[in-house]
C-alpha cells in the first residue's frame, strides 16, 4: 500500500496522520513522501535521514495544531497535509446547562462526552447530543474514552469537590489542550488549597481556566454554554477571545 493510499485510509477512518511531501527542492527529490502517524511512527522516506527527522518534527506540531502548512527546511519546501478527527470536549457534571454545551459543541463539529458517576442524572435521554454519556468516576471515564491527548479539552462543571478534584488531578497530569472549571473565586481558592495539599505542583494549577468561559455577561444556561464553548474554540486557535473590532492583524490565520 502506498503512503498516499494509507493516508486516505486514515482520513476515511477518522484517524490522525500527516502526509509530508517535498514540493520544492532538487528535482530528484520532488514528490517524495512520508506518512507520519500520531504515535510518531511512519512509512516512506524523503530520501535523507535529516530531512525525515525534520518532517517528523513539523508533522508532530501540525498534527495537534490540526492544520496543513508549507514548511521550509533549508533548500526544501515540505507540504504537511494533516487529517484529524473532530476535537473532543469532555464535560464533567450532568448539570442542566451541560446539555446546551453538548448541543453547541456538536453544532461546532466537536465530539462532546458527558461524564458523571450519578446514573440517575447521566443519561442519554438528558444529553442526546453527547457522543457518549459515561457513568463513572474520572479515571474510569478517561480510560473508557481512550485517554487524554493533545486534542482533548476538559470542562469541569460540578460543584462536588470529590468529583472536581479527581477530574482535575488526572487532567493536570496529562497533555490536555485545555482544562476549565466552574466556581466562584472563593470556591477556586478552596480548590487550590485542596489540590496543593494533595501534592499538585503550583505551576500545574496555572493551567486551570477558572472561572471557565469568556466574559459575555451571560445569565441563561444557553449563554453560559456559549461562554464556555467560545473560550474552548479560542484556545484551540490560539486566540484570547476578545472582540474582533479591537483586534489587529489577520482575522483568520491562513496557512502558507
* DSSP secondary structure, 99-114, as one string: HHHHHHHHHTT-EEEE
Q: Return the pLDDT at 249.
A: 59
Kindly state whether residues 126 and 196 are assigned to the same domain. yes
Kindly state whether residues 59 and 176 are assigned to the same domain. no
Q: Return the pLDDT at 190.
A: 92
Which of 140, 113, 139 lies closest to 124 in space, CA to CA? 113
* Residue bearing the bigger pLDDT, 252 or 148: 148
pLDDT digits (tens, 9 = 90+) for 66-111: 999 999 999 999 999 999 999 999 999 999 899 999 999 999 999 9
Percentage of residues in the chain having pLDDT higher than 90 = 82
Domain that holds residue 138: 88-236
**Band (61; pLDDT cuts 50, 70, 90):** very high
Kindly state whether residues 40 and 123 are assigned to the same domain. no
Tell me the three cell numbers of residue 72: 521550509
Kindly state whether residues 139 and 189 are assigned to the same domain. yes
Which of 183, 92, 168 lies closest to 130 in space, CA to CA? 92
Kindly state whether residues 155 and 38 are assigned to the same domain. no
* 254 within a domain of the structure (yes/no): no
* 251 within a domain of the structure (yes/no): no
The count of structural domains within the chain is: 2
* 128 within a domain of the structure (yes/no): yes
**Band (256; pLDDT cuts 50, 70, 90):** very low
In this structure, the strands spanning 17-24 and 88-92 are unpaired
- Cβ atoms of residues 107 and 135 within 8 Å: no
pLDDT digits (tens, 9 = 90+) for 161-178: 999 999 999 999 999 999
**Band (250; pLDDT cuts 50, 70, 90):** low
Q: Return the pLDDT at 207.
A: 95
CATH number at residue 107: 3.40.50.720
* 243 within a domain of the structure (yes/no): no
Angle at 158 between CA 193 and CA 125, to 5 degrees: 165
Q: Which of 44, 63, 83 is the last residue of a domain?
A: 83
pLDDT digits (tens, 9 = 90+) for 10-49: 999 999 999 999 999 999 999 999 999 998 888 999 998 9
Kindly state whether residues 120 and 177 are assigned to the same domain. yes
Kindly state whether residues 106 and 215 are assigned to the same domain. yes
Kindly state whether residues 232 and 144 are assigned to the same domain. yes
Tell me the three cell numbers of residue 139: 479515571
Kindly state whether residues 72 and 120 are assigned to the same domain. no
* 185 within a domain of the structure (yes/no): yes
Kindly state whether residues 66 and 95 are assigned to the same domain. no
- Rounded CA gap, 217 and 209, in Å? 17
Kindly state whether residues 111 and 23 are assigned to the same domain. no
Kindly state whether residues 95 and 79 are assigned to the same domain. no
* DSSP secondary structure, 13-54, as one string: TT--EEEEEEEES-GGGTT-EEEEETTS-EEE--SSHHHHHH
Q: Count CA within 13 A, CB hemisphere, residue 20.
A: 30
Amino acid at each position: 500500500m502506498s503512503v498516499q493510499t494509507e493516508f486516505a485510509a486514515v482520513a476515511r477512518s477518522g484517524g490522525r496522520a500527516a502526509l509530508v511531501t517535498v514540493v520544492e527542492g532538487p528535482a530528484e527529490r520532488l514528490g517524495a513522501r512520508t506518512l507520519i502517524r500520531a504515535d510518531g511512527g511512519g512509512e516512506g522516506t524523503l530520501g535523507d535521514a535529516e530531512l525525515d527527522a525534520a518532517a517528523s518534527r513539523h508533522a508532530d506540531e501540525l498534527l495537534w495544531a490540526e492544520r496543513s502548512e508549507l514548511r521550509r527546511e533549508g533548500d526544501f519546501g515540505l507540504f504537511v497535509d494533516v487529517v484529524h478527527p473532530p476535537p473532543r470536549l469532555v464535560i464533567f457534571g450532568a448539570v442542566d446547562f451541560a446539555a446546551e454545551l453538548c448541543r453547541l459543541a456538536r453544532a461546532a463539529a466537536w465530539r462532546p462526552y458527558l461524564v458523571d458517576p450519578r446514573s440517575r442524572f447521566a443519561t442519554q435521554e438528558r444529553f442526546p447530543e453527547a457522543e457518549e454519556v459515561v457513568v463513572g468516576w474520572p479515571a474510569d471515564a478517561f480510560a473508557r474514552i481512550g485517554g487524554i491527548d493533545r486534542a482533548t479539552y476538559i470542562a469541569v462543571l460540578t460543584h462536588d469537590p470529590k468529583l472536581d478534584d479527581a477530574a482535575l488531578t488526572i487532567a493536570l497530569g496529562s497533555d490536555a489542550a485545555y482544562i476549565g472549571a466552574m466556581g466562584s473565586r472563593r470556591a477556586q481558592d478552596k480548590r487550590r488549597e485542596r489540590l496543593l495539599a494533595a501534592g499538585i505542583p503550583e505551576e500545574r494549577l496555572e493551567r486551570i481556566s477558572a472561572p471557565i468561559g469568556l466574559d459575555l455577561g451571560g445569565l441563561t444556561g444557553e449563554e453560559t454554554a456559549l461562554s464556555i464553548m467560545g473560550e474552548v474554540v479560542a484556545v484551540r486557535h490560539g486566540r484570547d477571545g476578545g472582540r474582533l473590532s479591537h483586534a489587529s492583524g489577520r482575522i483568520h490565520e491562513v496557512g502558507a
